[in-house]
Chain A
Amino acid sequence: MRPAHFMLLLLVSAAALAAAPLVLGSFTVTLLNYIGVYALVALGLVLLTGIGGLTSFGQAAFVGIGAYATAWATTAHGAPPWLGLLLALALTGGVAAVLGAVTLRLEGHFLPLSTIAWGIAIYYLFGNIEMLGRFNGISGIPPIQVGSISFAAAGAIYYLIWLFLAGAMWLSANLLNSREGRAIRSLRGGAAMAESLGINTFRIRLAVFVLAGLFAGLAGWLYAHLQRFVSPAPFDVKPGIEYLLMAFAGGSGHIAGAVVGAALVTLLKNALQDVLPTISRNSGQLEIVFFGALFVLLLQHARGGLVPFLRRRLPKHTPPPPAAAPPLPRRTLPQAGTLLLKVDGMMKRFGGLVAVSDVSFELRAGEILGLIGPNGAGKSTMFNLITGVLKADRGKIVLQGQAISGLAARRIAARGVARTFQHVKLRPNMTLLDNVVLGAYLRTRAGFLAGALHLDRGEERAVRAEAMHQLHRVGLGDRPYELAGNLPLASQRILEVARALAADPALVILDEPAAGLRRADKNALADLLRALRSEGVTILLVEHDMDFVMGLVDRIVVMDFGVKLAEGLPAEIRADPRVRQAYLGGVT
């Protein structure tokens, strides 16, 4: 869609929404109110689950905290609802921060399981605290007021709900197109990729978890003043999974998916409530059966949801490539020929197996060094030791005079080491440009608030221009808005190189970049690396493919069975009988 069409669509929907209470019946308006409240919760889940990859079954508990906070403050203490809002946000944010700090280091399925646990615990807490009315709940919650205007009527609070929702969607959309938002979008590519770019994945996970919690808390506040009554039931794990159903049904990877999903589920529920009583007197239960079955079918057949399905049917619009902008500051590169990296006596054991045994070598600024060896020689282990993915048992690595051995991957990245991956790690659903911009994460500063409020546009222009420059540099500049997943393997590897270059690195380490490439692609890659060397980039090339390495590198280190077998110029290595034996093998 063109931006102009998009603006038009936004204006039309805004006008339609504004006019809705004037033309629609009060029942429909009430329905729209609930859709708006649910959409806020689902929006948090889109950010958290669909985009960040962290599944929560406990979101309803956050809604409950927000709702009970304002219910308690306004009924027991007569506080104005706006004070209730502050309390609701402070409490949900605080609880989310504490729960997140404790649980977000959990891996795989243990994290979602923990959300069931605290979700149920909080639900039982609501039902057993005297102050909160136990399972009877709290009634008599006052309506929201601004001056003398009361938002008691369904048609009035409607505007409040949809304004808050629109605001939350605007902030979310801005955020996702900013530095930290891209970091959130990188989470699903695995911690190894994000950390190698300098992203503190725990911090990002915590931030998106708290944000989703705040959206739920806000929804809870609106819910309490809409219902004017709260009880524990709507904050159990069952509604928690309904929110998840909304996000998945709408399209958990898209902001619009939250609204579409909330509308879809709410309207369906409403329709079912009309139809089911004609089938059975236990219609409330049939509704659950229906939604359970619907969710299972959805996950079996259409995990992407409705929004991507619709989007494929809309005309695509490609914006113009980013314009030139003032450049980002650059690192002072070391003088060519000076010592850049010193690997000294590295040793790594896995159980009884010695993967790397007493390996030492040096790398000088401006050269390409090849680290080669047959499969199982210990090259990858060596690579992981240098980039901080593994910790060495013994030995020392010094980069530009500073010891980097033992540092976390993202701290090594911050010292100017950029890497690529043997099994390409890109975000297939992000554009080429966004993938490369991710590489410049450490060169930019904008935080969550600046991103969400669009205060980062100057820096954003600079970093996009920089990414465009790197795309041109590697020869991928003609389609910056293509999705990375649509590229052939060879181009994906080159895109990883561009991402590494965007970090303005002192040292680029490439992990088997030629594996699986055709001869022509290999030649193109070799040409690119030669060009980079002539621009002063230092490259460590870990490679299995001798053919690729021979004509390209300045020096070679050969590893076999975890030890350094040989070191020297390419011609010397080729003539070395030990290397021939290691590579060609033979029974004798």
Chain B
Amino acid sequence: MSAFLEIDDIHVAYGKMEAVRGVSLSLQAGQIVTVIGPNGAGKTTLLEATIGLLPSRGRIVFDGIDLRRLEIEDRVARGLCLVPERRELFGELSVIDNLLLGAYARRRDREGVRQDLATVFERFARLAERRNQLAATLSGGERQMLALGRALMARPRLLLLDEPSLGLAPLVVREIFRIIASLRSSGVSILLVEQNALAALETADYAYVLETGEIAHSGAAAALMHDPKVVATYLGGQA
């Protein structure tokens, strides 16, 4: 079976500096795959290259289509969706406008958009309460929910999540990961980049450890969770 997302030997450079060097990974439909690793390892760069925010060398194939020729907007239209680390919400627009714009690529399907809006409000009750509030006035956790909700409005087939737990209190982190797990059961595949290694490994099927732009280890998420090498990467030590 060919993979849903196949990244093959990609390189991403900022000027003369390569931040991602020859990374290959693959994801099957319906899977959650996580990429963990320390700061500056190139995780965010990898996702930004996948969505097309950064130019890259190498092959990225999504559902049988080579993405290299496509611009971001075309990738979005084909069901690829990034929830970026900085959330990139429209702060001076209301929650509901942010969500509606999430469905911009399919704005002509008015009935579908209306249904999806109801679904998102069901999933994130907090957003429904604050639907007319400006996005900039939301708390950190609510912003992350809005970013996720906005991405879901596009009816993505593959979600790229960048540090969804970043800067959130533990209780909120738990909530976010519960939602991520429930997304899989609704048929969305997820490529998850995380600092919070344990939470990511508990949620994912398969994991890659990225270090200074290269894949250092990979394996089933459950196995990596107890791997001393992974623990050492995070806490330092003699590994």
Q: Do chains A and B touch in the complex (CB under 8 A)?
A: yes
| Chain B 190-239 residues near chain A, CB threshold 8 A | 195-199, 202-203, 211-213, 231-237
When distances are taken between beta carbons in the complex, the residues of chain A under 8 Å from B202 are 586-587
Q: Which residues of B contact A485 (CB under 8 A)?
A: 15-16
> Which of A512, A544, A546 has the most chain B CB within a 10 Å cutoff?
A546
Q: How far is the CA of A584 from the CA of B16 in the complex (A)?
A: 32
| Interface window among B68-76, B99-107, B119-127, B166-174 | B166-174
Is there an interface contact between A515 and B40, defined as CB atoms closer than 8 Å? Answer: yes
Chain A 512-555 interface 0/1 with B at a Cβ cutoff of 8 Å (1 = within): 10111111000000000000000000000000111111110000
Nearest B-chain residue to A547, judged by Cβ:
B236
| Interface flag for A135 (CB, 8 Å) | no
Residue A152 is within 8 A (CB to CB) of chain B in the complex = no
Assess the A585–B173 pair: CB atoms within 8 A: yes
Asked whether, in the complex, the Cβ of B39 is within 8 Å of the Cβ of A587, the reply is no
**A584 interface neighbour in B166, B177, B234, Cβ under 8 Å:** B234
Majority DSSP secondary structure for residues of A touching B: loop
Q: Does A284 lie at the interface of the complex (its beta carbon under 8 Å from any beta carbon of B)?
A: no
Partner of A489, one of B17, B169, B195: B17
Which of the listed residues B15, B39, B174, B211 has the most CB atoms from chain A within 10 Å of its own CB? B39
- By a CB distance below 8 angstroms, the chain B residues around A486 are 16
Please, which residues of chain A bring their CB within 8 A of the CB of B50?
Answer: none
A349 within 8 A of B: no
Across the interface, do A516 and B236 meet the contact criterion of CB distance under 8 Å? no
The answer on a CB contact under 8 Å between B198 and A574 is no
Given A583-B234, A585-B198: A517 and B173 interface contact (C-beta under 8 Å): no
Contact between A376 and B166 (Cβ–Cβ < 8 Å)? yes
Cross-chain contact A546 with B39 (CB below 8 angstroms) = no
| B32 located at the interface, meaning its Cβ lies under 8 Å from any Cβ of chain A in the complex | no
Question: Is there an interface contact between A585 and B197, defined as CB atoms closer than 8 Å?
Answer: yes
Let me know if B22 is at the binding interface, CB within 8 A: no
Q: Are B235 and A574 in contact, with the CB atoms below 8 A?
A: yes
Please measure, in the bound complex, the distance between the C-alpha atom of A376 and the C-alpha atom of B40, giving whole angstroms: 15
Measured between C-beta atoms, what is the minimum distance from B54 to chain A in Å? 15
B19 touches A376 (CB 8 A): no
- Asked whether A546 lies within 8 Å of B198 as measured between CB atoms, the reply is no
User: B232, A547: Cβ atoms under 8 Å?
Assistant: yes
Are the C-beta atoms of A585 and B165 separated by less than 8 Å?
yes
A517 and B38 alpha carbons, distance in the complex (Å):
11
Given the interface contacts A375-B39, A376-B167, does A550 sit within 8 Å of B17 by beta carbon?
A: no
Complex CA–CA separation, A485 to B174 (angstroms): 43
A517–B5 CA distance with the chains assembled, in angstroms: 28
Q: Is the CB of A516 within 8 A of B235?
A: no
Instruction: List residues of chain A with CB within 8 A of the CB of B197.
Output: 584-585
Q: Does A580 contact B (CB under 8 A)?
A: yes
Cα separation A486 to B17 with both chains bound (whole Å): 9
Q: A516-B212, A574-B236, A585-B198 are in contact. Are A488 and B173 (CB under 8 A)?
A: no
* Residues 109-143 of B at the A interface (beta carbon under 8 Å): none
Instruction: Tell me, rounded to whole Å, the shortest Cβ–Cβ distance linking B43 to chain A.
Output: 11
Closest chain-B Cβ to A588's Cβ sits at a distance in Å of 8
A374 interface residue per 8 A CB criterion: yes
Contact between chains at A375 and B195 (CB < 8 Å)? yes
A59 to B163: give the CA distance in the assembly, Å. 49
Contacts of A519 in B (CB 8 A): 211-212
Residues 147-180 (chain B) with a chain A CB within 8 angstroms: 163, 165-167, 169, 173-174, 177
Which residues of B lie under 8 Å from residue A587 when comparing CB positions?
173-174, 177, 198-199, 202-203
Which residues from B are CB-within-8-Å of A548?
236
Decide: B237 and A547 in contact? CB cutoff 8 A: yes
Q: In the docked arrangement, what's the CA distance between A231 and B58, Å?
A: 62
A374-B195, A585-B173, A587-B173 known; A551 and B236 CB under 8 Å?
yes
Residue of B15, B165, B167, B235 ringed by the most chain A CB atoms within 10 A: B235
Give Cα A473–Cα B234 distance, bound, in whole angstroms.
Answer: 31
- Known contacts A374-B195, A585-B165, A587-B173; 9 additional CB pairs below 8 A are A375-B195, A485-B15, A517-B212, A519-B211, A550-B236, A561-B169, A574-B237, A584-B231, A585-B198
The 12 sampled A-B contact pairs (Cβ below 8 Å) are A374-B195, A375-B167, A512-B40, A515-B40, A516-B40, A516-B41, A517-B212, A544-B39, A584-B196, A585-B197, A586-B198, A587-B174
Closest 5 CB pairs of A and B: A585-B196, A516-B40, A515-B40, A547-B236, A376-B167
